[in-house]
């Protein structure tokens, strides 16, 4: 794949270290796990290096899932009271030189066949389904201009309506529950935006990844980053928008996975034989190298 850059000023190089450590009160005898922490090459980002470390380690397999996300799968079949997964990636983000396809009008969307092509990105899921109130709100947010105008209007409304509050919700919180509480984290704002857009017939993907928190990042300085989520909606092209920050995605955003909602893109998930975990320590460190 050939990647064309606009200029050196349009490139960020980021080193991302994402570490998850699970601890248990008694030994776990067996565990089966999947990890989705490794970004891949695509328009707007190029991976320079990537690896995963697992402790304890007993082998690993790699594959790409249905939605195009890189997955590392591994089993552990010896007793352990701690499991640590560390993903280290160096990636460049940039503005693709090639212009995207022209955006569609509502009339063009209606005859595009997107209902068949993107069926899974139009159907509600338990985390993105709307109630009657939100369905009515979505109808009022539809912009008469273009689907892209509506996409931005929806994300702006979500940003203004929900207060970002770290730790206020969990991974099982639905869009309706977050709306009722008027607060949530990035995945909640994203689930709500996804649900509203899909209800209007706009195919929308849930995107997981990383965000450097500082738009004026100092080169060489390591900061506490974060796992992040945003939307991509389709109107003849995929438009990425971050409802948590009310902005288009840019050089600070790194894509790690896509799906219908969070359940398709968790950084780590698995099943194991043993007691409930007593610790789940997650850290993300990001260093701008260029």
| pLDDT, tens digit (0-9, with 9 covering 90-100), for 7-51 | 445 899 999 999 999 999 999 999 999 999 999 999 999 999 999
Residues 276-288 pLDDT 10s: 999 899 999 999 9
- The reported pLDDT for the residue numbered 6 is 40
Mean pLDDT of 254-272: 97
- Judged against a pLDDT cut of 70, whether residue 270 lies above it is answered with yes
Contact between 74 and 272 under an 8 Å Cβ cutoff? The reply is no
- The pLDDT-based confidence of 4 (bands split at 50, 70, 90) is very low
Question: Cα(233)–Cα(34) distance, rounded to whole angstroms?
Answer: 27
Sketch out the chain's domains with CATH numbers: 8-95+267-288 (2.60.40.2250), 106-264 (3.10.620.30)
User: Which of 174, 179, 185, 168 has the alpha carbon at shortest distance from 245?
Assistant: 185
- Judged against a pLDDT cut of 60, whether residue 267 lies above it is answered with yes
Mean pLDDT of 262-266: 97
Contact between 178 and 134 under an 8 Å Cβ cutoff? The reply is no
Q: For residue 23, give both structure tokens.
A: 């601890």
Q: Which residue has the higher pLDDT, 36 or 143?
A: 36
Percent of the chain topping pLDDT 70: 97
Question: Cα(201)–Cα(108) distance, rounded to whole angstroms?
Answer: 12
DSSP the chain: -----S-GGGEEEEEEEEEEEEEEEEEE-EEEEEE------BTTEEEEEEEEEEES----EEEE-TTS-EEEEEEE-S-EEEEEEEEEEEEEEE--SSPPPPPPPHHHHHTTTHHHHTGGGTS--TTT---HHHHHHHHHH--SS-HHHHHHHHHHHHHHHSEE-TTSS-TT--HHHHHHHTEE-HHHHHHHHHHHHHHTT--EEEEEEEE-S-TTPPTT-EEE-EEEEEEEEESSSEEEEETTTTEE--TTEEEEEEESSGGG--SEEEEEESSPPSEEEEEEEEEE--
* Mean of all residue pLDDT scores within the chain: 94
Mean pLDDT of 74-92: 97
- Judged against a pLDDT cut of 70, whether residue 5 lies above it is answered with no
Q: What residue has token string 């968790």?
A: 266
Contact between 87 and 115 under an 8 Å Cβ cutoff? The reply is no
Question: Cα(258)–Cα(238) distance, rounded to whole angstroms?
Answer: 12
Mean pLDDT of 228-253: 96
Mean pLDDT of 178-191: 97
Question: Cα(75)–Cα(73) distance, rounded to whole angstroms?
Answer: 7
Mean pLDDT of 132-143: 95
Cβ neighbour number for residue 165 with a 10 Å cutoff? 13
Q: Is the dihedral of CA 145, 122, 262, 102 positive or negative?
A: negative
- The reported pLDDT for the residue numbered 1 is 31
Classify residue 286 as left (phi > 0), alpha (psi -120 to 50) or beta: beta
- The reported pLDDT for the residue numbered 159 is 98
User: Which of 159, 164, 149, 182 has the alpha carbon at shortest distance from 243?
Assistant: 159
Q: Which residue has the higher pLDDT, 66 or 4?
A: 66
Residues 104-137 pLDDT 10s: 999 999 999 999 999 999 999 999 999 999 999 9
Question: Cα(34)–Cα(109) distance, rounded to whole angstroms?
Answer: 36
Percent of the chain topping pLDDT 90: 90
């Amino acid at each position: 794949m050939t990647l064309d850059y606009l200029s050196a000023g349009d490139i960020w190089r980021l080193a991302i270290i994402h570490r998850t450590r699970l601890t248990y009160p008694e030994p776990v005898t067996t565990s089966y796990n999947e990890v989705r922490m490794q970004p891949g090459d695509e328009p707007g980002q190029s991976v320079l290096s990537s690896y995963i470390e697992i402790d304890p380690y007993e082998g690993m397999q790699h594959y790409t899932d249905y939605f195009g996300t890189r997955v590392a799968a591994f089993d552990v079949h010896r007793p352990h009271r701690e499991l640590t997964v560390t993903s280290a990636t160096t990636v460049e983000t940039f503005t693709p030189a090639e212009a995207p396809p022209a955006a569609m009008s509502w009339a063009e969307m209606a005859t595009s066949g997107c209902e068949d092509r993107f069926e899974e990105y139009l159907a509600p899921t338990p985390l993105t389904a709307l109630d009657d109130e939100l369905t009515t709100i979505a109808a009022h947010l539809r912009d008469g201009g273009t689907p892209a105008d509506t996409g931005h209007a929806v994300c702006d409304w979500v940003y203004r309506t929900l207060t970002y509050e770290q730790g206020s919700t969990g991974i099982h919180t639905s869009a309706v529950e977050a709306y009722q509480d008027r607060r949530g984290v990035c995945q909640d704002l994203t689930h709500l935006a996804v649900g509203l857009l899909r209800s209007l017939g706009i195919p929308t993907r849930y995107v997981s990844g990383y965000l450097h928190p500082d738009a004026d990042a100092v080169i060489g300085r390591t900061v506490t980053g974060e796992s992040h989520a945003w939307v991509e909606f389709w109107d003849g092209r995929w438009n990425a928008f971050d409802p948590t920050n009310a902005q288009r995605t840019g050089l600070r955003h790194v894509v790690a996975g896509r799906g219908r909602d969070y359940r398709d893109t968790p950084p780590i998930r698995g099943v194991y034989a043993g007691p409930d975990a007593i610790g789940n320590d997650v850290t993300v460190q990001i260093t701008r190298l260029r």
